[in-house]
Amino acid sequence: MQTEILSKAATQARGLAIDAIHACNSGHLGLPLGCAEIGAVLFGDGGLRYDPSAPKWLNRDRFILSGGHGSMFIYSWLHLAGYELSLKQVSQFRQLGSETPGHPEFGDTVGVEATTGPLGQGIGNAVGYALSGKRAAAKFNTTEHTLFNQHIFALHGDGCLQEGVAKEAIAFAGHNKLDNLILIYDSNDVTLDAMAEQTQSEDAERYYVSQGWDAITIDGHDLTAISEAIAHAKSNDNGKPKVIIAKTTIGKGIPEVEGTAAGHGEGGAKFAASARKGLGLPEETFYVSEDVREFFAKNAECSKVGKANWDATYAAWSTANPALAAELESSVKGEIPADLVSRIPRISSWNWQRHSRLRRCSDQRSCKRSTTADHWLGRPLWFNKKLH
């Protein structure tokens, strides 16, 4: 592991967040500063499999920032990683029409996989991605060719764990053995304007384990520990989703507020100048050093090789399995069979004695739709055993 350059990149990511938030006098510094080492490992040490020149690569790992308020985290790292997100866009954070809106928006920023901001929803999105990854692998992988084996990552905070939607999704992931899912918990003991102990006291590690997950607690600023935890989570296909509980210091790098509730939000911006100095950053704002640029350029070249190998597998697979390939391509385009509607039973023609309950009608219609267009996943078909 190239600790020195990764650590330098983490410092510069902190600088980008400070400068962007200072420039618009709005935004949340706590998460990007507290999770900078996590970003360095995800984007610079092979944590995530991605190719910045092919952001829609089907078998890429997905990264979702469930704590969407910390959006400068993802913008800094996407920029450093070499995605088409320019420094100018980073410097226009939270400005009308920029590619760096206040919270991550799917479709507005390259590399953003899900719109987040409502706490907990990012975990729900990640579980959905993990399920569809499993479905795609089961349907399209063959004994000769592996097309799908990606991992789904989400970074969530204390607040996400307060949300019911996250709890339901976590239970679902454990029950359905989604071992391609890796959550990283930014466990900084602060939620916005108060210490977390004021509002929550569950033992996160034991909670996750009780839901059928593997859980590990690490120092979230220790690059080696983060790297090892991610590598272990990725290689351990044991039928359990994984959570890495990373103990971090919110707002790390701004001594006046770090580790306190004041580190969550805009308060930090007023200490921008002294924080930049303390971090050893030069006067130039939005600073990225040449060696960090070179490091990520090399990283991007390596990821191109991984993508090219996958392209070769895809070509061989589609030649060997033309019908499956046609189906996958149609799914990717979101195509719907022209006769879909006519294949769905009309409720008025049903035997109302047998199908009197609305839920049954819904089950039957979803079931028909799913068998007609497999990629339009209908819950009853796959999860309601009565219908199998």
Ligand X SMILES: Cc1ncc(C[n+]2csc(CCOP(=O)(O)OP(=O)(O)O)c2C)c(N)n1
Residue 190 binds Mg ion (CB under 5 A): yes
Q: Out of ligand X, Mg ion, none, which partner does residue 111 contact, by CB within 5 to 8 A per kind?
A: none
Name the one range near ligand X by CB under 6 A: 155-163, 203-211, 226-234, 330-338.
155-163
Please report how many Cα atoms fall inside a 13 Å half-sphere around the Cα of residue 145, on the Cβ side.
20
Interacting residue with Mg ion among 158, 179, 214, 363 (CB under 5 A):
158
Helical residues (DSSP H) of 25-150, grouped into ranges? 30-34, 36-44, 71-81, 87-91, 121-140
Residue 157 binds Mg ion (CB under 5 A): yes
Q: Out of Mg ion, ligand X, none, which partner does residue 30 contact, by CB within 5 to 8 A per kind?
A: ligand X
Element housing 28 (H / E): none
Please report how many Cα atoms fall inside a 13 Å half-sphere around the Cα of residue 281, on the Cβ side.
26
Residue 188 binds ligand X (CB under 6 A): yes
How many angstroms separate the CA atoms of 110 and 126, rounded?
18
Scan residues 104-123 and list those touching ligand X (CB under 6 A): 117-119
For residue 306, give the nearest of 63, 117, 46 by alpha carbon: 46
* Closest residue to Mg ion, based on beta-carbon distance: 158
Residue 160 binds ligand X (CB under 6 A): yes
Please report how many Cα atoms fall inside a 13 Å half-sphere around the Cα of residue 293, on the Cβ side.
7
Residue whose CB is less far from Mg ion, 28 or 276 = 28
Cβ neighbors of 221 (< 8 A, separation 6 or more) are 37, 248, 249, 252
Please state the closest distance from residue 288 (CB atom) to ligand X, in A.
24
Please state the closest distance from residue 22 (CB atom) to ligand X, in A.
18
Interacting residue with ligand X among 5, 9, 20, 31 (CB under 6 A):
31
How many angstroms separate the CA atoms of 135 and 226, rounded?
29
Interacting residue with Mg ion among 89, 100, 188, 366 (CB under 5 A):
188
Name the one range near ligand X by CB under 6 A: 62-70, 227-235, 308-316, 371-379.
62-70
Residue whose CB is less far from ligand X, 100 or 366 = 100
Residue 191 binds ligand X (CB under 6 A): yes
Say if CB 181 and CB 173 are below 8 A apart: yes
- In order of 132, 151, 211, the CA distances from 48 in angstroms are 18, 8, 25
- Which spans of this chain sit near Mg ion (rule: CB under 5 A)? 157-158, 188, 190
